[in-house]
Amino acid sequence: MVKKGWLLVILSVIMLNGCMEINDQPDFYERTTDVSFFIKLDTTGHSQLLSDIPVMANVPVTITTLVYADFEITGLTNDSGWVYFNDLPNANYSVKVRVDFDFQNDLDVLTLTGSDIFSVAKGNSVLSDTLNLIMSGKPGLKINEIYYMGPPNRIFYFYDQFIELYNSSDQTMYLDGMIVCRMGTCVVGADNVTYIFQLPGEPLTGREYPIYPGEFKVLAQDARNHVVVQGADTLVRSIDLTSADWEFVNSQDYADSDNPDVPNIGNIETGNRNDFMIALGSDIVLIATGEDVEYSDGIDMETIIDCVEYSSKADHIKDITEELDEGFAGVGMAKYSYQSIERLTPGFDSDNSTIDFQVYNYPTPGFQNE
């Protein structure tokens, strides 16, 4: 009997010895990395106007991370153009500069913008890099914001998508007859049109639908209040698009809603029964004058006003050539996250969406995210 008892004791000790992974304390601590940036002006295309490259002194530089809540630090460059951030926690950061710089020459006052991403991780004690500031390209009609990720929900609701246009020129422009396209993978130019919708009016010559200097126009997939869906159910973090300026409507899509108070952008693609829906992962949005609506061979490059490629994957292989967009926006965004991409400043365009656009946690239809 005693022997049996001892077996029980041994069994109980074995049960105590279940697998348990006990880790030792890391000898690496948070907040041990210092980061510095040399802020430099990229004079490409403007060097003839600048006898000396100005030192970017006293320029505010802001770093943010989405890892920790409300984490934002702003530092000023010193007289040599360097800015220092000490004791940063491990995270992925974006560094951003936006400053109105007075060149005191023919360039006068120009907005300079630069952004980059960097990572602080185990093993980095000091990081140093150069951040190039670029000047915005020529002003005009721009795709200023694309909201495509949809609100937090579990019914795959993303019908609150919209595209925001902005007139960054000092002249009134007209949207008459303009086409808005969703593009597929292009081999030569813009040769693969997925959807093509057109605004009413005569391209180039029409004067019915102006967009004034500094004005935003919102092109909604469905111009309705997306906060309220399915009767009493609500999507608290969606948006009310009943006051959108335009609404995509496909008369062949019998389920597509049509707000009678909002003018339509109609489908002109034969056989397309879908509304203007764009993907939540990667896609391309293009606007063109509307002179060329023969979409089967693509859109003439000369008529393209603006084109933006986006992808949430950093290793995305581009689907369009650098002529249309040198980069792509939206890296790191999550589906149904309410996130949106918008230009760093209204209409800021260097033809590289990687630089021009920034990810925001919420969309701002009709105005700029501050």
Partner 1 sequence: MNKIRIFALVMVLLTGVDLFGYDKPLVSETGDSWQYVGDLRSMPQHLFLAPYREGQVYTLYYDHTASPYRRPFDAARVAVYGGRLITFRKLDSRTVLYAAIDFKNEYFSQRTRSLEKSFYNSLVSITDSTTGNFQYNGPLVDFALSKQFTNKLNWSFQVNYGVEKGLKDVYSKAETRELNVDFITALRYQMLSAAAVDIWGRRLHSLCHYEMVKEYSSAEIETWYGETMYRYEINSSSVDVLTNHDGYEFGGGLRLSPVTSHWQAYLSGNTGVEINAMNQGSSSATSDRGYWRKDASDYLIWAKHQGSALGMAFFVRYQNSFEWGRTGIYQATFAENTVTNASAGMDLQMMNSASIMTDISARFNQLNYDYINYLDILTHTQDEIGYRVAGQFRYAPYPIIAYSGTLAAERIPLDFYYPDDYIDNYSAELGFEYQRNLIRILLSVKTGVEIAPSDDGDLNQFIEFRIGVKQ
Summarize as ranges the residues that interact with partner 1 (CB under 8 A): 2, 5-6, 8-9, 12-13, 15-18, 20-23, 25-31, 66-69, 87, 89-91, 121-122, 152-154, 229, 233-237, 334-338
List the structure tokens of 44. 């490409």
**Distance from C-alpha of 154 to C-alpha of 33, rounded to nearest angstrom:** 40
CB 339 to partner 1: min, Å: 8
Smallest gap from Cβ 317 to partner 1, in A, equals: 23
Name, in order, each residue with C-beta under 8 angstroms of 175's C-beta and a sequence gap of 6 or more. 165, 199, 201, 209, 210, 211, 217
* Residues paired with residue 39 on neighbouring β-strands, in sequence order: 131
Distance CA 83, CA 68 (A): 22
Shortest Å distance, C-beta 12 to partner 1: 4
| Nearer of residues 87 and 302 to partner 1, judged by Cβ | 87
Q: Minimum CB separation from partner 1 for residue 261, in Å?
A: 25
Least CB distance to partner 1 at residue 53 (A): 37
Q: How far is the CB of 135 from partner 1 (least distance, A)?
A: 34
Q: 155 or 187, CB closer to partner 1?
A: 155
- Residue 134: exposed, middle, or buried by beta-carbon count in 10 A (0-12, 13-18, 19+)? buried
Residue 23 or 171 with smaller CB distance to partner 1: 23
Nearer to partner 1, 87 or 322 (CB): 87
Q: Which amino acid is at 47?
A: S
The smaller minimum CB distance to partner 1, of residues 199 and 235, is found at 235
Q: Which is nearer to partner 1, 113 or 337 (CB)?
A: 337
**What region, left, alpha or beta, does residue 165 occupy, with left being phi > 0 and alpha being psi -120 to 50 degrees?**
beta
Cα angle value 105/111/117 (rounded, 5°)? 130
Dump the DSSP string for 281-313: SEEEEEEE-SS---GGG-B-GGGEEEEEEEES-
